[in-house]
Amino acid sequence: MSTPAELLSAAQIAARVDELATEIIKDHVPFQAAPKEDAAPLLLVSILRGAFVFTADLIRALKTQGLDAEVDFLGLSSYGDATTSSGRVRLTRDLDTDVKSREVLIIEDILDSGRTLNFVKTLLVSRGAKSVQTCALLDKPSRRKVAVEAEFVGFSVPDAFVVGYGMDVAGLGRGLPYIGTMPEDDSD
């Protein structure tokens, strides 16, 4: 894999994650201010594998700012080893947590075609979630195929293949502390 060109620095990402935590808390003040004794905490559903680093940083930022959330993971695939989506979303790992009557916040690395987010929202609603909102680190509105938007968005980015901060190309690059762009024909 060649070295990706930096699109978003580690410092930019960290600052925006803190801002997103503030936005999420502000939106969930009624939920936090008057929780019922038997009410479950906000459930973050992290979409594997790309969103795991973002989710880890976000849940820490939420806790630092006063919102204690629960987290679970949902594995989905629509890319495989390719740099473009296959158009089909496949469930590869299901949740361990029952979402029935829960307030859920889906954590996604990239909102591009909208197929994955639409799939997850439909799935969680069908399972009885009380409410389902979404937080995407990156948004590529130019690639949208399904009319779906995230309530919370980190950055709007151009139509380029990105890697780093948990996102990969054929399994590589997840450990980069920044988000970079890959040349379209990069097959190394």
* Cβ–Cβ under 8 Å, residues 32 and 57: no
Contact 119, 89 (CB under 8 A): yes
Q: Which is the catalytic residue, given 112, 139, 168, 188?
A: 112
What is the DSSP track for 6-21? EEE-HHHHHHHHHHHH
- Quote the distance between the C-alpha of residue 46 and its chain's center: 6
* Whether 38 is catalytic: no
Q: Residue 11 in 3-state DSSP?
A: helix
SS3 37: coil
Catalytic residue numbers? Answer: 112
